[in-house]
Amino acid sequence: MGAYKKCMLAVLLLLPLMALEAVDKGVSIDVDLTQQKAFLLLDGKIAYETPVSSGRPGHLTPTGDFTVLEKDPNHFSSLYGKMVDADGKVLDWNADVDMPVPKGAKFVAAPMQYFLRFDGANGLHMGILPGYAASHGCVRLPKGKAILFFDTASVGTPVHVHGTAPKVEPPQRATRPASVAPTVSPTPDDHRMKWFPFIKRLHS
C-alpha cells in the first residue's frame, strides 16, 4: 500500500472519532437564511451570533442537516473568483473557471479564509457582507466571527441550515446626471425706454 493510500485510510478512520469529539463538546452551528444570521450553539444554547450573507438567487445556499467536512484556514474557491489583466486591473469581479480567459489575462480564485465545508463546495468562511444574500452559495461571515466559528468547530460539528433568504435586489450604482446647459435668464424690458417718447411730448 502506497503512502498516499495509507494517509487517506488514516483520515477515513479518524473522521468518525472527530465527529464524536464534536458531538461530545456540544458544539453545533445553526444558519438562519431568513434572518441572514448564524448561531454558534453550546449544548443547544446560543453562545454567539453573527450576521451573514448567504447564496443569492440562482446560487442558493442548500438547506438541511449537515456536518463540517473540512477545515481550511487559507482556502481558495475552486469555482469562482475574478479576471485580471497583465497589470492586475480587474476585468470581471464575478468570473468563474468556465469563462474564457482573454489574452494576457488570468483567473484569480476568490479567497475563503477560515473555511468550514459542510456540503459540496459550500461552507462558512470570512467574506464581504453587503447587507443582503450575495454569495455563490457559501455563507459569508465577518472576520472576527469567522475566526471564532472556525476555532470552535471541529470536523463533524453539526450544521443546520434552514429558512429562505429574502429576495433583496442589490443597490444600483449611482450614475452621474447628464450635464445640462445653463439657462440664460431673459433680459428684463427697460420700461424707461417705452415711456421716454410720451414724457418728451408732455414737455414739448
Q: What digits encode the pLDDT tens for the residues 72-84?
A: 999 877 666 666 7
Whole-prediction pTM: 0.66
pLDDT of 143-186, one tens digit each? 999 999 999 999 999 999 999 999 876 666 544 454 555 555 55
DSSP the chain: --HHHHHHHHHHHHHHHHHHHHHHHTEEEEEETTTTEEEEEETTEEEEEEE-B-BPTTSPPP-EEEE--EEEEEEEEEEEEEEE-TT--EEEEEEETTSPPPTT-EEEEEEEEEEEEEETTEEEEE----SS--BSSSEEE-HHHHHHHHHH--TT-EEEEES-----PPPPPP-PPPP-PPPPPPPPP-HHHHHHHHHHHHT-
The domain ranges of the chain are 3-165
Give tens-digit pLDDT for 29-51. Answer: 999 999 999 999 999 999 999 99
> Residue 204 — very low, low, confident or very high, per pLDDT cuts 50/70/90?
very low
Per CATH, the homologous superfamily of domain 3-165 is L,D-transpeptidase catalytic domain-like (2.40.440.10)
pLDDT score for 38: 98
Task: Please give the pLDDT value at position 80.
Answer: 67
